[in-house]
Every structure is written in C-alpha cells, then in structure tokens.
Amino acid sequence: MPRLTQTITAPNGLKYEQPIGLFINNQWVSSSDGKTLSCINPATENEITSVHAATAEDVDAAARAARVAFEGEEWQGIVGTARGRLMLKLADLVESQQHTLATIEAMDNGKPYSQALGDIEEVFSVFRYYGGWADKNYGQTIETSRAKFTYTIREPIGVCGQIIPWNYPLAMAAWKLGPALACGNTVVIKAAEQTPLSILYFANLLVEAGFPPGVVNIINGLGREAGAALVQHPEVDKIAFTGSTTTGKQIMKMASATMKNITLETGGKSPLIIFDDAQLENAVKWAHYGIMGNMGQICTSTSRVFVHENIYDTFLQKFTDYVSKINVIGDPFDEKTYQGPQVSKEQFDKVLGYAQSAKEEGASIFAGGEIAQSRPNGKGYFISPTIVSDVQPHMKVYKEEIFGPFVVFVRFSSEQDVIKMANDTEYGLASALCTSDITRAHRVAGKLKAGMVWINSSNSSDFRVPFGGVKQSGVGRELGQAGLDAYSSIKAIHLNLNLTTSI
Ligand code: NAI
Ligand code: MG
C-alpha cells in the first residue's frame, strides 16, 4: 500500500504530518498508476518529498465525486447562511494553522517566511469575506406585465474545475474556492506541479470544518495530463485558471468542446509610469514593491517602468540604491531575507535567459542579471535583482513576461507618447502611475488599457476589489462582489398569473 502521508521536519525545525495523496471524497487515495511528482525546496535544491500524480482516471473519480456531492441533499440542502458558517470555521482553522501553512509554503515555493505568513492571512481573510457573501446571492424581480410575475434567481454553476499556479499556492486556491463555495458549487482543484504541499495540508482542514465529502476535491498532477483531463471532463461545468497566457489559450480551446463557462487570469507586462511631478521617494518605494515583491513572480508585476526624461537618471539611481538596500538575498527562513529563490530550475533558467537576451539585443544591464553571489551555500535558484535601462520596444525583455526580479526602464517625454507605449502590448492586466496632478492621474487612468490601475502605488491589490485583465491577460474577474458572478448563473423565471381578465 503506497504511503499517503509523510512526517516532515521543515528547515525551521517544525515537524508535521504532510499528506501526499489525492484528496477525493474527503479521503486520501493514491494515484491509479502509482506515479509521483517530486517536490523540491528551491532554496536548497533538495527533495522535500514526492506526491501522488493524478491520471485521467483519478481526475474522473474526482469529477464524479464532485458531481454526486453537487446533486446530493447534504450540500444542496445547506442554506447560504450555513454554508457561510462552514467557511468562517474554515477561516478560523487556517488562521490557527498559519504558522504550519506558512512554513510549508516557504519551504515548497521558496518565498520568505514573513511573506508566506502574509499570504496565509490573505487566505483566511478571503474565506471570511466570501463566507459573508454566502447568504447574499440575490436575484431580482422585474416588472414586465401585470399578467405575470418575473424574477431571477442565482444558481451555482455546478462542478467547477480550478487550476492554480505556484506563485501564491494557497492564496490562489482561496481566491477560487471562496466564491465557488459561497455560491454553492462543488470543486475539483488542481495544484501546480511545483507547489502542492500547502493545499494538501489544507485539505484536512476542510474535513475538520465540516464540509461534506466531494464538495472540495484536491488533486496534484501534471498540467498536460491531470489539468487537461479536468478541462475536458464532461461532468465539469466550469474551468477557472490562473497561469500563463499560452496555457490559458489551450484551456480555452479544450473547454470549447463542451462549451464550459471559463474564467482565465493569465499573463501581464504591466506598465508603471513615473511623471516628473511624482513624489519621488514614494514612487521609488512602489516601483520596487511592484517588481521585486514575491521575487517578481506576480502576474500584475509592474515590469516595465516608464520614467519622464527630466528625472530618468535620478530615478534610476535612487531605485537601484533602494534595491541594493532592501533585496537581502538569503534563506527564506532567515528574518533578514527579502528575496528568496525563484520557484524552480525552469524559472531560474528562464529569467537568466532574458538577461542574456537583453545583452544580445543591446540593452544596458544596469544591475544584476546573474546568479546571486550571496546565495546560501552556493545553492538554490537565487538571481540577483536585475535592472535593465534604455530598453527599446522591439526587444524581447520589453515585450515578454519574464516573471522574475527583472525590471526594464524606458524614457519618455510626453503624456501622449507614454500612454501609447504603455498600451503597446498584447497584455492588459494591471497598470500604475505616479503623479502629484490629480487631474492627470484620472485622465491617464481612463486611457490605460488594463483591468486595474494603481495611482501612486503598485500592486496594492485587495480581495474586496475586482481583479482581472483585458486583452490577452484574461477573461472574467475574480475577487470582490464581481468574483461571485464567475460562480453563479442567473435563471429567469416567468410566472404566468393566469389572470382571467385582460389588463
Ligand atoms: P502554466 O500556465 O503552464 O501552469 C499553471 C497551471 O496550469 C499549473 O497548475 C499547470 O499544471 C496547469 N497546466 C499546464 N498545462 C496545462 C494544460 N495543458 N491543461 C490544463 N492545465 C495545465 O505555467 P508555468 O509553466 O508554471 O509557468 C510558465 C510561465 O507562466 C511563467 O514564467 C509566468 O510567465 C507565467 N505564469 C503566470 C502566472 C500568473 O499568475 N498569471 C502564474 C504562474 C506562471
Ligand atoms: Mg517546490
């Protein structure tokens, strides 16, 4: 009998039981063909453990469990208020286990423990927020004629397949599970290959909170195998995905066979515009946070920074000084560490490849662009923060999503020009601008083609506010009240009042 759990001692000394199986019907099972995926700590390059990898057959079992749970009285019979209570209980359990969950994420993803703790706070906050919405999914009454009573109700969509990335493992799960459960759906969620451990640990909290079997099923597995099987499964009514634009397009295609409802949150190359009247210290701080947070592995990272020519050189120098002060590279469990490793060897190689490409295309590497000299024990996927200046629009580093601590700087001279340059991308996820002129701020915000605009900040997202993109950055919105639209459908009901007299 293959093992379904393993005792792990984390680098910070925490000893805990790590589930490593597939979570279907509130039970741990092994994969049907016994295949596993190796889990690597990117700070040390050592294997932590390995987890069962779902086959198409396992995905089928999970989807059928979610279908039975969706149709079953145990879940259908729970009114919104009671569903909300389950979610609040779940939030309390996540909060009580935040140390363990943050430890697991720091170890499996490489993010500094302090940042992982912030992510777990986001997780329980999102469950509380959507727990509050669970009994507020209202329909409308619509006046049509006196002969009938017309109204709408909001119904859950059904079985939702959710595919999450590795950059914020449990937070991305919460963004999707929160609204799905609040609206009364059931779920099969697939963890990213690189980071399955925290969501597997979280699975046991679902049972403890009292969720009926089959309401949330959690699988690990390869995208092209388990992910693709989930997207194509006939029992799955909806797919919600966060990840690369390339995979998002494949998912759209696969989901078209059964015309599934889809929500996609994909890539970005978000601009940050610094006007010459910006409050400089504040702009430097946010420009830094916008690209260096989470090792630059954020879909909304403001990775293209446009600076007005009057302040370009000063800004670039101040930014570089700030990076060298803040980006302390080191062990994710060391309190002083700001920057951990990239999540995987693949991402590490990809980011370094872009530094090479910048050199080849004639950009000037102002700082970084190599393996970090200060990485602990000479191991791990650590990259020195990379600043590339005087980048031209034809260069790969200007156009493509890099997903690392890698920023490109561009000069501009007029508002009109910079709006054009900022919008000259296939993406449209986020955008940001810094200025002291409120009129200009409002005017430019209206012209940026993006799902989100931050004024005098960057990446200051909030779970109460809709999140998502236009163009090739995605379809639909997550978070806030808008997040509920993605997980409910409207049914219109026309009730003929059978009036005998004509009106
Ligand atoms: P990916 O988009 O391939 O993976 C994301 C998720 O999709 C994972 O759970 C994966 O297993 C699943 N998946 C992959 N192929 C699939 C398929 N054919 N069918 C169904 N599911 C599938 O991204 P990956 O390879 O991890 O990273 C590549 C690049 O994607 C990164 O360098 C970054 O630019 C971007 N990315 C963007 C994210 C975002 O937040 N928007 C998050 C992660 C990556
Ligand atoms: Mg890992």
Torsion angle defined by CA atoms of residues 433, 436, 439 and 443, in that order, rounded to the nearest 10 degrees:
-10
Q: Would you call 193 a catalytic residue per the annotation?
A: no
pTM tops 0.75 = yes
Residue 501 has a pLDDT of: 64
The model's pLDDT over 294-317, given as tens digits with 9 standing for 90+, comes to: 999 999 999 999 999 999 999 999
Residue 502 has a pLDDT of: 57
Structure tokens belonging to residue 492: 């219109």
Contacts of 111 (CB under 8 A, 6+ apart): 105, 119, 294, 295, 332, 340
Give percent above pLDDT 90 in the chain. 98
Q: Residue 425: what are its φ and ψ, rounded to 5°?
A: -160, 155
Distance CA 355, CA 367 (A): 10
- From the list 235, 265, 401, 478, the catalytic residue is 265
Distance CA 486, CA 480 (A): 11
According to DSSP H, which parts of 150-237 are helical?
A: 169-182, 197-209, 228-232
Residue 47 has a pLDDT of: 98
Q: Provide the residue type at 286 as one letter.
A: W
Q: Helix or strand or coil: residue 403?
A: coil
Distance CA 438, CA 279 (A): 13
Q: Please report, for residues 76, 77, 183, 184, 222, the alpha-carbon distance to residue 80 in angstroms, rounded to integers and kept in the order given.
A: 10, 10, 8, 8, 35
Which protein residue's CA is at the shortest distance from atom 32 of ligand 1?
Answer: 403
Q: Residue 397 C-alpha to ligand 1 middle, in angstroms?
A: 20
Pairing between β-strand 36-41 and β-strand 406-412 as defined by DSSP bridges: unpaired
In contact, 19 and 59? CB cutoff 8 Å: no
Distance CA 414, CA 391 (A): 17
DSSP string, 236-287: --EEEEES-HHHHHHHHHHHHTTT-EEEEE-----EEEE-TTS-HHHHHHHH
Assigned architecture for domain 271-461: 3-Layer(aba) Sandwich (3.40)
Q: Residue 306 C-alpha to ligand 1 middle, in angstroms?
A: 28
The model's pLDDT over 173-202, given as tens digits with 9 standing for 90+, comes to: 999 999 999 999 999 999 999 999 999 999
Q: Which residues of the chain have pLDDT under 70?
A: 1, 501-503
Assigned architecture for domain 5-266+476-489: 3-Layer(aba) Sandwich (3.40)
Positive or negative, the Cα torsion across 311, 459, 373, 363?
negative
Structure tokens belonging to residue 353: 């490849």
Residue 59 has a pLDDT of: 98
Residue 345 has a pLDDT of: 98
Q: Where are the domains of the chain?
A: 5-266+476-489, 271-461
In contact, 434 and 272? CB cutoff 8 Å: yes
The model's pLDDT over 394-453, given as tens digits with 9 standing for 90+, comes to: 999 999 999 999 999 999 999 999 999 999 999 999 999 999 999 999 999 999 999 999
Name the DSSP class of 385.
-
224 lines ligand 1 (CB under 6 A): yes
Burial of 170 (0-12, 13-18, 19+ CB in 10 A): buried
Q: Which of the listed residues 175, 244, 270 should we mutate to test ligand 1's pocket, taking the one with most ligand atoms within 8 A of CB?
A: 244
Q: Please report, for residues 93, 283, 326, 334, 431, the alpha-carbon distance to residue 274 in angstroms, rounded to integers and kept in the order given.
A: 43, 7, 21, 33, 12
80-96 vs 98-109: helix axis angle to the nearest 10?
A: 70
Pairing between β-strand 271-274 and β-strand 216-219 as defined by DSSP bridges: unpaired
Which protein residue's CA is at the shortest distance from atom 19 of ligand 1?
Answer: 228
Measured between its terminal Cα atoms, the distance across the chain in Å is 73
Which protein residue's CA is at the shortest distance from atom 6 of ligand 1?
Answer: 165
Q: Residue 480 C-alpha to ligand 2 middle, in angstroms?
A: 30
Which protein residue's CA is at the shortest distance from atom 22 of ligand 1?
Answer: 223
196 lines ligand 1 (CB under 6 A): no
Q: Residue 478: what are its φ and ψ, rounded to 5°?
A: -115, 170
Q: Where are the beta strands (DSSP E) in 59-207?
A: 141-142, 148-156, 159-163, 186-190
Q: Residue 293 C-alpha to ligand 2 middle, in angstroms?
A: 18
Residue count (the chain): 503
Which protein residue's CA is at the shortest distance from atom 4 of ligand 1?
Answer: 243
336 lines ligand 1 (CB under 6 A): no
Is the fold of 5-266+476-489 the same as that of 271-461?
Answer: no
Residue 2 has a pLDDT of: 82
Q: Which residue is listed with tokens 């950009």?
A: 363
401 lines ligand 1 (CB under 6 A): yes
113-133 vs 80-96: helix axis angle to the nearest 10?
A: 170
Q: Please report, for residues 171, 204, 309, 432, 446, the alpha-carbon distance to residue 440 in angstroms, rounded to integers and kept in the order given.
A: 34, 51, 18, 13, 10
